[in-house]
Amino acid sequence: MDEIRIIIAGGGTGGHLFPAIAIGEKIQSLYKNSHIHYMGSIFGIESKVLPVKLYPHTLLPIKGIQRNFSFNSIMKNIGLPYFYLKSLSIAQELFDELLPNIVVGTGGYASAIPIKLGIKNKLPVVLQEQNSYPGLTTRVYASRANIVCTAFGEAHSYLKEAKCLLTGNPIRSNISLGLRENGAKIFKLNASLTTLFVFGGSQGSIVLNQLIEKLVNELKITNFQVLWQTGSKHYNRYKHLDSDLIRVLPFIDSMADAYALSDLIFSRSGALTISEIMAVGKASILLPFSKAAENHQYKNAKTLADYNAAVLLEERTVNSEIVYRTIKNALNNKNKLMKMGQKAKSMSKLNATENIANHIIELALA
């Protein structure tokens, strides 16, 4: 069995890093003689995650472009040429030492330099795009990549010169294996009650937390219960609201069981969140983060809403009254919940991680 050496570059946020890790782990499970080397940024979440996992990795001193015109952003952008050249030098040394067979990019500013070097060295390049509206790095390099693996068909209209394959997003392999009874036991809730699951991603969402805080009294007198992940940074502000019907937690490890317990999800609409909601086939109310780059969360949410698989709310018009009315109407209509969940499930791509990994292995061995 020939050895294959693969560079997987991506990071800055978990939305780019965790697909990279999922792909790398799947490749190694499918092809034992594979060497995976991750690349990211010293400023991204990967600087904390990769060392803990003890995966071979290189972190570049690269930052993303600041896209507003504040004084602080302008000052940060002034230093970009220096960081870029330094990162380019480090990356080139790694390429010369490792001699990779292929480069995989999962997006974010940390992936741009490795992708550029892969193309320059005439190596096969595979991009994995998580969002319905492709990120900047994907848009720049898609036409020169061998394959762009997409999560949403809507992305293809922005990548007309690229070879796109609709594969779905790499997500946790056990995410759909949770049990409602386990969820009730873990979170000390009632398995027989209708459950609203609220979360704003791993870091939590200030806006979602504030909206739910305003609704606590109304929620306590309804016939359903709430599982609420605030995010670790925000937990102390809301922990006093914990009760038998409203479970307040800083972070949830057992996401599969949390999804299984839920009947309706109220969340942001990052790419991986959307993909997990589709995989578990749950109805959802989505409130996109309005300051997400190029408004990609809105476009992700709209993809589900247009298919009647979710309800889309917007920060600029939302208030606690609208949220409460939307939640109550959904939870009091079991038929609507079921149909929304079925629609979401039908949009999910099974075996996405394995399909992407197989394409990468095939190109690496070609």
**Same domain as 192, residue 46:** no
Asked if residue 126 and residue 100 are part of one domain, the reply reads: yes
Closest CA to 105 of 128, 134, 136: 128
Residues 130 and 102: their CA atoms lie apart, in Å, by 20
Q: What is the pLDDT along the chain (366 residues), one digit of tens a residue?
A: 799 999 999 998 888 999 999 999 999 999 999 999 999 999 998 999 999 999 999 999 998 665 566 666 555 656 678 888 999 999 999 999 999 999 999 999 999 999 999 999 999 999 999 999 999 999 999 999 999 999 999 999 999 999 999 999 998 878 999 999 999 999 999 999 999 999 997 678 999 999 999 999 999 888 899 999 999 899 999 999 999 999 999 999 899 999 999 999 999 999 999 999 999 999 999 999 998 878 899 999 999 999 999 999 999 999 999 999 999 999 999 999 999 999 999 999 989 999 999 999 999 999
Residue range(s) defining the domain that contains residue 202: 180-347
Q: Please give the distance of CA 74 from its chain centroid, rounded to a whole number.
A: 28
Alpha helices in the chain (DSSP H): 14-30, 46-53, 71-78, 80-98, 112-120, 136-141, 180-187, 206-220, 235-238, 255-261, 271-280, 296-305, 320-331, 334-347, 352-365
CATH of the domain at 292: 3.40.50.2000
Task: Tell whether 87 is covered by a domain.
Answer: yes
Same domain, 56 and 142: yes
In a domain, 229, yes or no: yes
Q: What tokens does 190 get?
A: 């009632």
pTM: 0.86
Looking from the CA of 120 toward its CB, the CA atoms found within 13 Å total 11
Tell me which residue of 127, 136, 137 sits closest to 104, measured CA to CA: 127
Q: How many domains does the chain have?
A: 2
Measured distance CA(92)–CA(252) in Å, rounded? 39
Pair (294, 213) in one structural domain: yes
The torsion angles phi and psi of 325, rounded to 5 degrees, stand at: -60, -40
Question: How far is it, in rounded angstroms, from Cα 40 to Cα 248?
Answer: 33
With tokens 């009315």, the residue in question is 325
One domain for residues 210 and 341: yes
Asked if residue 147 and residue 223 are part of one domain, the reply reads no
- Tell me whether strands 164-166 and 57-60 are parallel, antiparallel or unpaired: unpaired
The reply to whether 218 and 339 lie within a common domain is yes
Q: Are 90 and 207 part of one and the same domain?
A: no
Same domain, 154 and 278: no
Could you tell me if residue 197 is inside a domain?
yes
93, part of any domain: yes
Q: Tell me if 174 is assigned to some domain.
A: no
**18: nearest Cα among 107, 150, 140, 101:** 107
In a domain, 24, yes or no: yes
Q: Please indicate, yes or no, if residue 208 is contained in any of the structural domains.
A: yes
Residue 73: its pLDDT value, please?
57
| Pair 325, 308 in one domain | yes
pLDDT value, residue 320: 96
**Same domain membership, residue 317 and residue 231:** yes
Residue 63 in domain: yes
Q: Do 358 and 235 share a structural domain?
A: no
